[in-house]
C-alpha cells in the first residue's frame, strides 16, 4: 500500500492512494475532490469509474460538483432560508431562488488541511476545515473532518465528523459521478441498481421537495429488487419528467443490516455496493449534465454518470417527519459511507 502526493498548479495537492490489488483513488485537497477511482473489471483491467476533468484548472469552478465534498448542507434549501430557535437565517440563492450544495463558497470550494496516515491494513488522508460563524449565512463556527480510507478489500471508506459552537445545520456528502463501464465507454442507462428503500420524496417543478413521501411500489422508483436506470430515464411518470427525465430524488433508506445500495454493470462485470449510516440517499442520473465538458476520458453528456449522495435531507428544514439536518451546539456529527468494489462473472 502506498500514498503518493503531487503538486497541482502550484496551489493544490493531489493525493493518490494505492492498495495491494492495484486499486487507485486520487483526490485533491481543494474541495476534497475525487478525480479518479480505478478498479478492475472481470478481466482484471483497471479503469476509472468516476467522472473528472481532463484539466485540473477546470475544477476551479466545478459547477457540476464532480467528486467534491458538499456542505454545509447537501441538497437544495427552499427559498434560501431556514429558522432555528425563532431566528431566521438567509443564504445565497445560487439556483433560482434556492440555495444549492452550500452555495458558491461551500466546502467544494475550500482548500482542506490534509494529514496522510497508514496502518497495517489501510491507507488514507484526513481532511479538516474550520468554517466561521456566518460564513455562507450559516450560524456557528464549525470544525469538520472528512477522512478517505482505502483498504485491501477494495473498500473506499468516507468518514464525516463535525462540531459547532452554536446550534446549526449540517449534512455532508460526496458528489462523485459513477460509471462502472470504465473510462466512460458507455452511458449509465444499463446500470442495474438496488436500493433498500420503500419511500422517496416528491419534487416540485423546481426540484424542491414538497414534503410528501411516495411509496415506491408499482413505480419506476422501486429498486428494492433491482432495476436498470433506463426504466426511469425513459419513463413518462410525472416525477421522472420533473427531474428532467431520470432521477434526482431523495430515497429514505430502510434501516437494515444489509448493503443499502448495489450497482452492477454487466459488460464490465463491475459491482459497487454502498453501506451507510446516513438515513437516505439522493440518486442523480446526470440528467442535466452539460454536453462538451472536457473530461479525462472524453466529452461530457447527459446520463454519463450516477451520483449516490448519502445524507440527511434539507426538506426537514421546512417539513416535519424527515431525517433532520439540525446539529445542536457541541453535539458530535458522525457519519460514514463505504463504497466497496468487486466483480461478478
For the full predicted model, state whether its pTM sits above 0.95: yes
The pLDDT of residue 257 is 64
Q: What is the pLDDT of residues 137-160, one digit of tens each?
A: 999 999 999 999 999 999 999 999
Q: How confident is the model at residue 291 (pLDDT cuts 50, 70, 90)?
A: very high
100-110 pLDDT, tens digit each: 999 999 999 99
pLDDT of residue 34: 98
Cα Rg of the chain (Å, integer): 19
Encode pLDDT of 154-167 as tens digits: 999 999 999 999 99
Average pLDDT of the chain to the nearest whole number: 97
DSSP-derived secondary structure letter, 254: P
Give the C-alpha distances (Å, rounded to integers) separating 320 from 15, 255, 325.
Answer: 41, 19, 12
State residue 57 phi and psi, 5-degree precision: -65, -15
Among 148, 164, 216, CA closest to 325: 164
What are the tens digits of pLDDT across the range 32-78? 999 999 999 999 999 999 999 999 999 999 999 999 999 999 999 99
Q: Is 98 exposed, middle or buried (0-12, 13-18, 19+ CB in 10 A)?
A: buried
How confident is the model over 248-289, as pLDDT tens digits? Answer: 999 999 987 666 899 999 999 999 999 999 999 999 999 999
CATH numbers and ranges of domains, the chain: 2-343 (2.70.98.10)
Percent of the chain with pLDDT over 90: 97
- pLDDT reading at 208 higher than 90: yes
Q: How far is CA 246 from CA 205, 207, 249, 264, 313, in A?
A: 14, 12, 9, 18, 20
Residue 258 pLDDT: 65
DSSP string computed for 265-314: -TTT-EEEEEEESSSEEEEE--TTPPS--EETTEE--TTS-EEEEEE--G
What are the backbone angles phi and psi of residue 145, rounded to the nearest 5°?
-140, 140
Which positions are annotated as active-site residues?
Answer: 175, 309
CA 196 – CA 118 distance, rounded (Å): 33
pLDDT of residue 322 exceeding 70: yes
Please answer whether residues 176 and 67 qualify as being in contact, where contact means their C-beta atoms are separated by less than 8 angstroms: yes
pLDDT classification of 345: cutoffs 50, 70, 90: confident
124 by DSSP, 3-state: which?
strand
Q: How far apart are CA 34 and CA 111, in angstroms?
A: 14
pLDDT digits (tens, 9 = 90+) for 1-15: 999 999 999 999 999
Amino acid at each position: 500500500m502506498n500514498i503518493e502526493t503531487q503538486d497541482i498548479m502550484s496551489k493544490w495537492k493531489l493525493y493518490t492512494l494505492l492498495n495491494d490489488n492495484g486499486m487507485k483513488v486520487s483526490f485533491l485537497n481543494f474541495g476534497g475532490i475525487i478525480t479518479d477511482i480505478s478498479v478492475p473489471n472481470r478481466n482484471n483491467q483497471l479503469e476509472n469509474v468516476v467522472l473528472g476533468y481532463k484539466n485540473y484548472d477546470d475544477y476551479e469552478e466545478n459547477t457540476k460538483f464532480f467528486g467534491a465534498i458538499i456542505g454545509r448542507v447537501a441538497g437544495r434549501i427552499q427559498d434560501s432560508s431556514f429558522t432555528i430557535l425563532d431566528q431566521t437565517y438567509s443564504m445565497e440563492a445560487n439556483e433560482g431562488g434556492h440555495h444549492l450544495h452550500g452555495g458558491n463558497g461551500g466546502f467544494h470550494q475550500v482548500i482542506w488541511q490534509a494529514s496522510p496516515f497508514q496502518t497495517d491494513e489501510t491507507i488514507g488522508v484526513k481532511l479538516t476545515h474550520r468554517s466561521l460563524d456566518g460564513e455562507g449565512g450559516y450560524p456557528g463556527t464549525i470544525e469538520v473532518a472528512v477522512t478517505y480510507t482505502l483498504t485491501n478489500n477494495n473498500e473506499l471508506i468516507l468518514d464525516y465528523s463535525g462540531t459547532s459552537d452554536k446550534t446549526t445545520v449540517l449534512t455532508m456528502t460526496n458528489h462523485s459521478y459513477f460509471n462502472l463501464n470504465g473510462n466512460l465507454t458507455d452511458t449509465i442507462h444499463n446500470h442495474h441498481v438496488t436500493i433498500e428503500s420503500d419511500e422517496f420524496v416528491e419534487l416540485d417543478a423546481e426540484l424542491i421537495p414538497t414534503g410528501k413521501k411516495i411509496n415506491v411500489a408499482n413505480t419506476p422508483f422501486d429498486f428494492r429488487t433491482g432495476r436498470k436506470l433506463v426504466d426511469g430515464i425513459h419513463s413518462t411518470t410525472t416525477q421522472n419528467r420533473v427531474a428532467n427525465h431520470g432521477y434526482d430524488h431523495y430515497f429514505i433508506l430502510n434501516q437494515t443490516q444489509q448493503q443499502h445500495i448495489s450497482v452492477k454493470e454487466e459488460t464490465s462485470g463491475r459491482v459497487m455496493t454502498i453501506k451507510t449510516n446516513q438515513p437516505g440517499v439522493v440518486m442523480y442520473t446526470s440528467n442535466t449534465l452539460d454536453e462538451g465538458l472536457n473530461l479525462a476520458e472524453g466529452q461530457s453528456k447527459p446520463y454519463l454518470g450516477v451520483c449516490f449522495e448519502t445524507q440527511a435531507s434539507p426538506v426537514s428544514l421546512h417539513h416535519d417527519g424527515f431525517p433532520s439536518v439540525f446539529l445542536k451546539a457541541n453535539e458530535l456529527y458522525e457519519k460514514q459511507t463505504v463504497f466497496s468494489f468487486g466483480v461478478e462473472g
